[in-house]
Every structure is written in structure tokens, then in C-alpha cells.
Amino acid sequence: MKHSKEDLTHIAIILDRTGSMEEIREDTIGGFNAFLKEQQALPDEATLSLIQFDSQDPYEVIHHFEKIKDIPKLSPETYVPRASTPLLDAIGRGINDLE
């Protein structure tokens, strides 16, 4: 079945990976994974982009327009808070990249 661009859902998540997130690391991983599981259970096709940011890498693309059903859960190995916060840079670049 062919879909037009209007039929597809794309979810973009810009995830703060700065040192201040360390104390809520488990909550962040759990929240992302719960959201992912919910979205993967839906019958519709969707894609997801996940960008993590901190001052060491203000825009790290983890997943780019990948089928949501192929996205793995976050884990303590794939989400490691560190460094400081360049939030506005990541948001601006994310908007430009997803257009």
C-alpha cells in the first residue's frame, strides 16, 4: 500500500544528554522506552528521529527517519548524561534538519 507524505507520521525527539540529567537518567530511559513501546504497538506506519545533545556533541543524530518499529530501546549504554547544555543550538539545528 502506497502512502502519501501526508499519511505518514514522523516523530522527532531532541533528548537532553547533559550532566544535569544524571539524577533522572533512569526516569528518562524509562519514559522514552514507554513512549516507544506505545508508538510501536500502533498499526500506523511512523518514523522517528532521535537527536541527543550536550556541549561535547551539540547535535548527535542517533536515529534519522527510521521506521519506529526498528528503533531499539534506550539503555544505560546508549544514554549517558555528560557535559553542559547547548539546548537552543540543538533545537534550531533539529528544525532545519527535519524540514
Q: What is the pLDDT of residue 85?
A: 80
User: pLDDT (tens digit, 9 = 90+) per residue, 13-70?
Assistant: 999 999 999 999 999 999 999 999 999 999 989 999 999 999 898 889 999 999 999 9
The grid cell for 75 is 539503555
Confidence of residue 1 (pLDDT cuts 50, 70, 90): very low
Residue 5 has pLDDT above 70, yes or no: no
Domain ranges for the chain, please list them. 5-98
What fold does the segment set 5-98 form as a domain?
A: Rossmann fold (3.40.50)
